[in-house]
Amino acid sequence: MKYHLKSALLASTFAGIVAMAPAVVSAETLRVADSFPVGHYVAENLTKVWMDRVTELTDGEIDFEYYPAQQMGKSKDLMSLAQTGVVDIGYAPVSYLADKLPLSAVGELPEAFTKSCEGTKAFWSIAKPGEILDTAELAPLGVRMLMVMVLPPYQVMLAKKEITGLDSFSGLKLRTSGGTKEIAVELLNATPISISAPETRDALARGTIDGVLFPHSSAIPYGLPPELDYATQDLNFGSFVVSYVISEGRWQQFSPEVQNAMTTAAEEVISSGCAIAEELDMVDKQKMADDGVKFVSLPDADVAILDEKLASIGQRWSSELDDRGLAGTEILNAFRDALKEQAGSN
């Protein structure tokens, strides 16, 4: 706030009072932007909790302005806004950034995890600053991941067609978030359509797509259940890596104390956030069922065929990246090793 004092005497008196008053440190306000709709469980249980915790740990030295629902830009553009300083911290949805974060898609493969925390902790262990994924992909882009969440495994959800077996998906147009889930859709003999989550309900309503790959807890905030009739259950078509990044240049402007507060808060909310995601996954599945979505278990023979097909995705993914001169196999092996460590610790 600016005050204009026209009297020189008043200005002098005011200056003397200020000189005697104790110093007040004003908070530094950081801008955080993502694309989640208001009330989305990721924002409520990861993003906002992290911001509140950082403010608490810094005794108010750092506070935040939060811009959800694509207020600052489209999902795919928010990492760039963080890189250029338009925002301080930007949402970096790995699936929408295949051109910039191809290696980070390892966390979205249908690998050996069935729960959010298994995937989240394994992915974070290779993506945090200084680890193999950071060194190979993030650091060269001038960004560092602040926090992540790997969502519960995706299921196929259809608007109209009944699910009876694997052949139910043949020829359908299924929304994916891009990346490796496009391969999963192709293995179903369906056509992957890559559109952002906020545009999905309208696409279902118009018939632009026949169905989606989505986790239960994301389907509800985006208003999908009224447009859906059938869904698979107990399968793993891959996941989605939620991450927030900050530019390395902006990070280096913070004091070591503030950096430590951000890191400490991240470690806390990554663990608590994925645990809540697991709980909500089952709760929201029941809500969808109550809204009329019928969950279907595929025949055992079809599940065996599907598991074999999905198991090939990791190898195909890593080989394609190797051919591009990227460390696909190295990153995949690191992620698989991290998953084994998580399985051994549980």
From CA 278, how far away is CA 79, in angstroms rounded?
A: 26
Options 3.40.50.1450, 3.30.360.10, 3.40.190.170, 3.10.180.10; CATH of 155-238+287-326? 3.40.190.170
Using left for φ > 0, alpha for ψ between -120 and 50, and beta otherwise, residue 2 falls in beta
From CA 211, how far away is CA 222, in angstroms rounded?
A: 14
Q: What percent of the chain has pLDDT over 70?
A: 92
From CA 261, how far away is CA 94, in angstroms rounded?
A: 25
Q: Specify the higher pLDDT residue, 18 or 184.
A: 184
CATH topology agreement for domains 28-151+240-280 and 155-238+287-326? yes
DSSP β-ladder status, 230-232 and 155-158: antiparallel
Give me the residue label for tokens 């030295």. 61
> pLDDT tens digits for 132-164?
999 999 999 999 999 999 999 999 999 999 999
DSSP β-ladder status, 155-158 and 143-150: unpaired
- Note the pLDDT of residue 178: 77
Task: Examine the pLDDT at 103 and tell me if it is beyond 90.
Answer: yes
- Note the pLDDT of residue 94: 95
List C-alpha distances in Å: 133 to 14, 82, 124, 189, 338: 55, 19, 9, 32, 12
Mean pLDDT of the chain: 91
Q: Which of 29-33, 214-218, 286-290 has the lowest mean pLDDT?
A: 214-218
Strand, helix or coil for residue 43? helix
Secondary structure (DSSP) of 213-226: EE-HHHHTTTT-GG
- Domain limits, the chain: 28-151+240-280, 155-238+287-326
Strand partners, 213: 156
Strand, helix or coil for residue 62? strand
Residue 221: pLDDT band (50, 70, 90) is confident
Axis crossing angle, helix 180-187 with helix 300-323, rounded to the nearest 10: 140
Mean pLDDT on 47-64: 98
* Angle, CA of 219, 298 and 119, to the nearest 5°: 50
Q: Top-level CATH class of 28-151+240-280?
A: alpha beta
- Give the tokens for residue 317: 């993914």
From CA 320, how far away is CA 322, in angstroms rounded?
A: 5
Backbone phi and psi for residue 220, each to the nearest 5 degrees, phi listed first: -70, -50
> pLDDT tens digits for 9-22?
333 444 444 344 44
Strand, helix or coil for residue 134? helix
> pLDDT tens digits for 316-340?
999 999 999 999 999 999 999 999 9
Query: Among 210, 212, 288, 274, which residue's Cα sits nearest to residue 241?
Result: 274
DSSP β-ladder status, 230-232 and 173-176: unpaired
- Give the tokens for residue 163: 């699910």
Residue type, 79: M
Using left for φ > 0, alpha for ψ between -120 and 50, and beta otherwise, residue 171 falls in left
